[in-house]
Structure 1
Amino acid sequence: MLNLKYTLADLGQRQITLAQHLSVSSAAVSLLINHKQWPRTLDEADLRQRIEGFLKEKGANDLAVNTAFEEAEPERANAQAPAHPTKKAIDDQECETMLLRKQVLLPETKRAFSIFRDPFEDLQSVEDMYVNPDIRYIREAMYQVARHDGFLAVVGESGAGKSTLRRDLVNRLNNEGAPVLVIEPYVLAMEDKGEKGKALRTSHIADAIVDTVAPLERPKSNPEARFRQMHRALKNSYESGFRHVLIIEEAHSMPISTLKHLKRMRELESGFTKLVSIILIGQTELMVKLSERNAEVREVVQRIEVAELLPVSAARLDEFLAFRLARVGKKLEDVIDTSGVQAIAERLSKSGRDSQRSLLYPLAIGNMMVAAMNLAVRIGEPVVTADVIKEV
């Protein structure tokens, strides 16, 4: 950060006033002050001279003018700390975007954009759910497994929308009055190893099945009797016209032994009909456990379909943003311009040695947009631009 920030504060001048005097964007001035990034399209020496002239015109002394472009002290008791770190390696900056803390639309941001509900917050109805061809395929695959039969693993990065699809499936089945009993074992604090947390065992799944399918029955204490009870309860429920889908979230934390036992659970039948369909939902570590090279689970791998939730493509980013903003009654161009959309696509892309990895997942996009909207209002920009995104 430059001393210029504090000099302006001492003079009672706002950054937006300096930007107007220089005929540049507020974001460009903010980038200069907070990150020492001089606008590429302007001559640095000329801009420096014009800023010095502005400071002298507003009453700054020679010392303040001469030190305005020096690095500010790390701590100043009478100055507000910067909202974001001022020293980052470019690589760290790119990696950090996926890990932005939860961003919240500030009251002044809501007023400035006339938005009264965060368009990127948890969805309130199925109409809020963005669906592209990839998401539509996985959505329908989950539905077919629940209504008919199958063994499916839905895999995706944190914030990719896995839990949203699970909620959508349960909501869809309920709205249709479908004769499908959804069984969801309690997975709070579940870990694949007991010393890290509570491992999900097959006996716990059996308890969840009995509790859902035959809630008036008390689970047997003997393991063999409990599994017989589970099998009988599933048969009776099927004969009464119900199907059953077992949904396990955080499945990447399942022990290998439990994963193997799911194959045996899939073998429970009534005639030619499988009694339990299974949907596993987990992060990308689940793909490692379900690798063809993992001999321990080869029988599971041969029977399970793996569907990966991909990031939003850069080509569809404007479509995603337009959809979410439309849910709160705003047009895309009223909130972010074309350069801003492109800047988000670039920021949420991580370049490796041989490839480029996209981090354009709904959670990351939402965090980036909310942070950018807050910043735009703070520096006086009417919409989010590429300069604003660069400073987030």
Structure 2
Amino acid sequence: MSANATFSPAGQQKAIRWYPPSYDIRVESIPFPTIQDPDDVIVKVKLAALCGSDLHVYRGHSGIEKDHTCGHEFIGEVIELGSSYGAVSAKGRPALYSNLKVGDKVVSPFTVNCGECHVCRLGYTGRCPEGALFGSPALEGGQAQFIRVPKGGGTLFNLSNPSTWSSGLPQEDRAKALTGFADSSLLLLADILPTGVFAALQALNHPKVAPVITGKPWPLCFSQDVVGLGNEVDFTQEDKLLTIGIVGLGPVGICAAVSILDALSTRQLPYRIVAIDLVESRRDKMKAVYAAVGADGKGNGEFVVCSVEEAKIQVKEWTNGVGCTAVLEIVGHADALALAYDLVRAFGVIVSVGVHGGDLLPLTGRQCYNKNVSLDFGRCPARAMFPLAFDLLVKRQDVFGGVGTEASLIDKIVDFKQAAACYDEFDKNKVGKVIFDPWK
């Protein structure tokens, strides 16, 4: 069921591969993927991206000892389908088993999701029991010319058929976006944009943020029936002002910042945000992105970009030493988590979406108890987040639509020959988001 004359199961393809123990990236010829299960889909990769999470493996911090094809962010075209696909055989299964066709453009979340189990039905797709991470020893990655996608009907998003997912946008707006947007922009839906939206969503919908948003004290903020405050002292404007920290301004951190700004603007919530990074070039990128965001995505608040020490001073001044309502920890490092704890207030929340590879967390039980702090950890359920991320992508093409400008999230698109150099530059903070074109 081939849609491309160059596709041959007996042939060879180019791929970017990692070798243990660390810092060893090679471009090699490997066999084409083949259908191994009726639910499989073979995708011709148009573009694949380099992600910050790839650096954990690259640096040898993940305990992985097996060479494999890198990458978990890819967009491409369906060229072969397993026997599960078809209107009759797919009855009662996720919709793509009925309507996915050879030639359709697809984007994949960074993990396989069956779409049918209890976990997936609840929306926690990133932890599907049948899931696996692309670009790991368990599953070959997307930095290749072709890739096998297990459980494709529950994993992929069909960009050729916008009726196959929910959205807050009219159908015609979705269709227009899918024909008008660059593949490099749509590729952001594989990981970093859903993860940024996930971090913002987790923070703004956390119970400990509710008093600030509702203007009611704990626990009356959860009751729809309570009218008035009785003997309580009325809230001041300061009490209704969200103070948010963002630790880490790599590509995911920028996506989180744009997402939370959009949500605050949409809900017309007053805010103060401090965006923090150790690296000056990342801080400069964040400033340029914020400047590029239209007024409809900024709302009514104050946004500053700081170094670590500057951020501590800023939060102390803003809150009279109380601390942030919520802190988004995007790095996945013990030092970043410790900073988030220092910045957060008592009865505050830390949302951590960075990949933590260390054995121990830098916080003691006593510290967590003494601040009544809530820690929200873990992997983004990217497939479940796709509709919200897509709608934000459409709204914020001022940031997510370009390549190579001062305010573009994507720095450059390169061929596979530059893979080793790009991994090295990304590791040393000399470049931001890089996309590979397997066909250059």
Instruction: Name the TM-score, length of structure 1 as normaliser.
Output: 0.31
Instruction: Name the TM-score, length of structure 2 as normaliser.
Output: 0.29
Q: Which has the larger radius of gyration?
A: 1
Higher-helix-fraction structure? 1
Q: 1 or 2 for the larger relative contact order (CA 8 Å, sep ≥6)?
A: 1
Higher-strand-fraction structure? 2
